[in-house]
Structure 1
Amino acid sequence: MTSSSTTPVPARQLHRGVVVAGVVASGIVVCVVALLAAGGAPKPLPAGLHGAGLPVSWAVPVLRLLADAAAIVCGGAVLAAVLLLKPEEGGKLGAQGLKAMQDGAVAASVWAVASIGGLIATASVILGLPLSHLPEQAAVAGQLDQVRALAVAVALTAVLAVVLSGTRTVASARVALVLTAAALVGPLLTGHGAIERTAFWTVLATASLVVHVFAATTWVGGLWAVVRYRGAVDRFSRLALGCAVTIGATGLLTAEIHLDGREGGWGLITQWVTTGYGALVFAKAAAFAVLVTIGWWHRRATLPALADRPALFYRLAAVELLVMAGTVGLAVALSRTP
């Protein structure tokens, strides 16, 4: 006697899969549309000229987005183990903490692979060479600041993946948190924070950008961790409030420094509507306002009712993650926009 049956997918698992797919799609679609609309999208070379090619040029922002997403997931998992999840006696991680470490190890591996791809694509685009000719100019590529920064990120994320896979205590999770922060910093030092102005403004812009990214990674990654591991909502709510204030202040400062340019004066308001970069800054500000509104609604309505109606909180958190993914897509497009 034979019978055929299929095991139904649990509703919670199916819902989680839909949310993950929506988050990924949101980030990619927003990034591509923003690049096309603001003038940062790769353009075909004139006839007769040879370069990296459009597929490789498009791979740079896509791989950057993938690396950023993996960094956020990794950071959120490590943050959960250190701050949000209750450890066992003796400083050992509990079951959820160990699960977070394994998630973090996978995310760090993806981060490393995406950084390797980004390193190769970035070198190809900067040198204007097809990938097939890049090995011939490996020494020259190794002198590029962007390539060196990505190489450091690759090394750190590879070490991080190994550390996380063997982490069993809160103390070692703290070490992993420091490694995560170090891996985040490298590429930022050669990104759009390094503007051509006086040393003071360059340092201020870069420092503001680093703090901005740390706060954003904590906020987005922390929310993902709360949804993933279902713990410490109240503690994360307080942390998220501090992150939101920091993101707003540093985002405004960084945008003004860049939009001010070399001409002097305060150019933020006027260039919101006169430059593609300014338009993306405005779009990020609007998305940030939406996220702050959702956070306010969490504190006013969903947190007081969390014990009785937990589904309400997690549904709104899923919407918040979708908006956050779009905002990350905008940030990647912003880093590639003149």
Structure 2
Amino acid sequence: MVVALLAGGGAPKRASDGLLGAGLGISWALPVLRILADGAAVVTGGALVAVVLFLPAKDGKLGAKALRACQDAALAAGVWAVASIGGLIATATVILGIPLSHLAEHAAPAGQLTQVRALAAAVVLTAVLAVVLSGVRTLRGARWAAALTVAALTGPLLTGHGAIDRTSFWSVLATTSLVVHVVAATAWVGGLGAVLRYARSRAAVEVFSTLALGCAVAMGVTGLLTAEIHLGGRDEGWGLITQWVTTPYGALVFAKTIAFAALVAVGWWHRRTTLPELATGNPAAFRRLAAVELLLMAGTIGLAVALSRTP
């Protein structure tokens, strides 16, 4: 994330002479809090994917592993809420261009910022989610929690690059694509972590493998569509091809595309090699490859956070 921010021009800079600015500390805290929130969201979503899809429930009541997954998700949702609170404060400070110590004096204009409002909604939703998850005992409750997770993911995405003009068809399309992209990524990355933590049986892995394929297709299509819209290809021909090597934003899109292709290749190797080995009772190969895959996914999330802050 740090390397991508520096390379793409999204890294915080000192304020010009005569301006207060938020300060480098708060400015760097913003992407750090963002990646912390994203990580917590992935853990929350992954645990719920496990509960809903491949951890057994008897007569609608969750088993021991599913209950443990819900408690893990509750803890992660709490971290998500705290990181979102920090992100809200840092966002308001950076956009207004004032030191943190002056923020209380500017509470009214801060409250008018759409980014701050979206993060405030995310704070409320994630806090509610943490409370709900701590008391979930049934499959139905887990499904409601999953829907609440999607809602919490969606709010901050409505104020990003694609939401500059809400009346534009392309803006709406870019924002919708981004929402699908992020939800799919959360299910894919979080689901893989959940498989490793809660259920490494062949049945669970096969269910996740089908989910991962759908998520990969959704991420590939929406990722390229969103990038092409942001790079102006709708007006100037196939802009993505030329601009991903001529602009910092495009270069990061290209790097993220390469990382995505590598993840697809790892998924293909899972299907071809490790699933048959898992069927023979040897889970070691699957665990090793999945661990490497998770590291690659973490790097891709770092690129995504940097991309969201790159002009």
TM-score (norm 1): 0.89
User: In the alignment, what sits opposite 2:55?
Assistant: 85
Distance 1:250 1:206 in 2: 10
Match 2:220 to one of 248, 272, 283: 248
Distance 1:56 1:108 in 2: 23
Distance in 2 separating the partners of 1:75 and 1:47: 44
Distance 1:198 1:103 in 2: 40
CA distance in 2: counterparts of 1:262 and 1:301, whole angstroms: 41
CA distance in 2, matches of 1:57, 1:65: 14
In structure 2, the partner of 1:123 is: 92
Aligned residues with identical type, % of pairs? 74
Which secondary structure state, in structure 1, belongs to the residue aligned with residue 276 of structure 2? coil
Aligned partner of 2:276 in structure 1 is 304
Q: Counterpart in 2 of 1:64?
A: 34
The CA distance in 2 between the partners of 1:178 and 1:46, in whole Å, is 44
Counterpart in the other structure of 1:110: 79
Which structure has the greater CA radius of gyration?
A: 1
- Distance in 1 (CA, whole Å) between partners of 2:300 and 2:34 is 14
Q: CA deviation at 1:265?
A: 2.5
Residue 133 of structure 2 aligns to a residue whose secondary structure is helix
Deviations 1:289-309 (A, max 9, x none): 100000000000000110332
1:219 paired residue number: 188
How big is the shift at 1:216? Answer: 0.5
Residues in 2 aligned to 1:71 and 1:102: alpha-carbon distance in whole angstroms:
14
The DSSP-based 3-state class of the residue aligned with 2:163 is: coil
Deviation per CA, 1:206-243, whole angstroms, max 9, x where unpaired? 11000011111110010010011124111000110111
Deviation of the 1:181 alpha carbon: 0.4
TM-fit CA distance, 1:90: 1.7
Asked if 2 retains the 8 angstrom alpha-carbon contact of 1:224 and 1:321, the reply is: yes
Distance in structure 2 (CA, Å) of the matches to 1:291 and 1:128: 39
* Equivalent AA in structure 2 for residue 314 of structure 1: R
Q: Is the 8 A contact 2:46 2:193 kept in 1?
A: yes
Which of the residues 287, 295, 303 maps onto 1:322?
295
For the Cα contact (< 8 Å) 1:34–1:333, is it kept in 2?
yes
One-letter amino acid of the counterpart of residue 24, structure 2 = L
1:29-178 to 2 correspondences below 5 Å: 31-87=1-57, 89-178=58-147
Q: Greater shift after overlay, 56-65 or 45-54?
A: 45-54
Cα deviations by residue, 1:258-304 (Å, 9 ceiling, x for unpaired): 01178533210111111110000000000001000000000000001
**Are positions 1:201 and 2:173 aligned together?**
no
SS in 2 for 1:193: helix
Closer, same or farther: CA 211–50 of 1 in aligned 2, 3 Å:
same
Matched, 1:332 2:305: yes
Alignment match, 1:290:
262
Q: CA RMSD in A?
A: 1.2
1:248 counterpart letter in structure 2 = G
Give the Å deviation of 1:82: 0.8
CA distance in 2: counterparts of 1:319 and 1:192, whole angstroms: 31
SS at match of 1:303: helix
> How many matched pairs?
307
Cα displacement string for residues 31-63 of structure 1 (whole angstroms, at most 9, x for unaligned residues): 000000110100112233211000101111110
- Please list every run of at least 4 consecutive aligned residues from structure 1 whose deviation after the TM superposition is greater than 6 angstroms: none
The amino acid across from 2:28 in the alignment is W
**1:195–1:258 contact (8 Å) kept in structure 2:** no
| CA contact 2:233–2:240 (8 Å) conserved in 1 | no
* Residue in 2 that maps onto 1:16: none
In the alignment, residue 255 of structure 2 is paired with which amino acid? A
SS of aligned partner of 1:305: helix
Cross-structure match for 1:272: 244
Please list every run of 5 or more consecutive structure 2 residues that lacks an aligned counterpart in the other structure.
none
Q: Which amino acid aligns with 2:205?
A: V
Residue number in structure 1 paired with 2:253: 281
- Structure 1 residues 198, 270: CA separation in 2 closer, same or farther (over 3 Å shift)? farther
For residue 253 of structure 1, report the CA deviation from its aligned partner.
0.3
